[in-house]
Amino acid sequence: MLLQVLGTAAGGGLPQWNCACPGCAGARAHPERRRRHAALAVHAGENHRPGGDHRPGEGHRPGEGHRPGEGRWYLVNATPDLADQIEATPALHPGTGSDTRRTPIAGVVLTDAELDHTLGLARLREARDGVDVIATAPVREAVRDGLRLDALLTPYTSVRWRELTVDPGLPLDDSGAIHVAAVPVSAKRPRYAAGTGPETDTWSVALRLTETATGRTALYAPALAVWSEAFEKAAQDADCVIVDGTFWDDDEPVRAGFTDRTATAMGHLPVAGPGGTAHRLARLPGRCLYTHLNNTNPLGDPDAEQHALLAHWGLEVAADGMVIKL
């Protein structure tokens, strides 16, 4: 399995445009600390057309822009940074041969309906062959009816929705190389969807990605409100866990002064402390990394002492541009 980390920041990115906190000021002074909105790209297999409509002779000829990891890719979440994330990732660039508009990006898998994970869908309006979007039912309805992104995109390209389910899940595409299933983590819905849709814990999910040929599995959870039994099992079975690291400790949001709610109350388990995820992750057999860092999180500073603590626990912070091979 091949995963490409496209971004690792929470809402607003690092730096956040309207913030001069120490984290944002540090990222402005040291551009190497900048982080784009949290997102991932998953290599789904070799090039073929959506829906299995393979055209004989299609694909890259020798010398026509072939790159390692080339083929069909699915984005996990479509952030406001989507265009910059694609440009920073050569494997996601369009071909340079006779068909310069043939893109390797086949679609998007959504973990939730939050603005930071869905607004990038509008940037895919140029998709010549349309866009596959995989999401749970409440997320699909929020994006279609609340944000009206279907209506926005329809004059430009087609959007094909597929429902993301808990079990058994579904293949990313008809090659069947990668299988994706949802692990419910929160009933929290975005503010724009308040009072709409069903009461369900599939408003926000982790993704269990499995390579069918090898059985290797990655678990991606950019938001994690509760460490449930189902999440524990999925984490225990995973070769790699990439998990919510929004806040270092539970009081960080209050201490930073932008809210009176704790991290847990905001729907994010903190990294450290009695209710934190670090001690749970440290017991897991697979590789564990944090993503979705808020601008107030000291982990945004590579010299912060908290990095030594993570290293002691055998944990890492994912970096923008990181490639993970399982």
pLDDT 10s digits, 33-90: 999 999 999 999 875 443 333 322 233 322 333 344 468 999 999 999 999 999 999 9
pLDDT band for position 143 (cuts 50, 70, 90): very high
Pairing of strands 316-317, 287-291: parallel
How far apart CA 316 and CA 312 sit, in angstroms, is: 10
Using DSSP, state whether 9 is helix, strand or coil.
strand
Task: Take residue 271 and report the two structure tokens written for it.
Answer: 């990294």
Helix (H) or strand (E) holding 170: strand 170-171
Instruction: Convert the pLDDT of each residue in 158-210 to its tens digit.
Output: 999 999 999 899 999 999 999 999 999 999 999 999 999 899 999 999 999 99
Residue 279 has pLDDT above 80, yes or no: yes
CA distance 305 to 228: 30
SS3 for 156-224 is CCCEEEEECCCCCCEECCCCCCEEEEEEEEECCCCHHHCCCCCCCCECEEEEEEEECCCCCEEEEECCC
Distance between start and end Cα atoms, the chain: 5
Do 250 and 237 contact (CB within 8 A), yes or no?
Answer: no
Whole-structure pTM value: 0.92
- Return the pLDDT at 46: 72
